[in-house]
Amino acid sequence: MATAIIPSLMRKLTDGRDRVTVSGKNLREAIADLDRQFPGIANELIEDGDIRASIAVSIDGEVGANGVLDTIRESSEIHFMPQISGGS
């Protein structure tokens, strides 16, 4: 089962828990499972069927490019973080 690391300001939606075990083969399924366990949290993460534009998701240390279709593995660790921009 994968682990979703809950951002600190969302932990009020997960009874204070910072880590939640989730199942699924991709982010869509993992977030759906997270929402089953803690109803309402999906609304913080998903808009119009995909990850909110203001959020980036790292799976096993890599920020994915495929939104809810990004695959996860049995032991994956999922982090949600703010989307940022660069200058250069």
Binding site residues, another protein, CB under 8 A: 5, 7-9, 47, 52-54, 56, 58, 60-66, 77, 79, 81-88
CB of 26 to another protein, least distance (A): 15
- Are the C-beta atoms of 3 and 76 separated by less than 8 Å? yes
> Tokens 């999906």 label which residue?
42
Smaller CB distance to another protein: residue 11 or 29?
11
CB of 80 to another protein, least distance (A): 9
**3-class state of residue 4 by DSSP:** strand
Q: How far is CA 27 from CA 35, 46, 71, in A?
A: 12, 10, 6
CB of 66 to another protein, least distance (A): 8
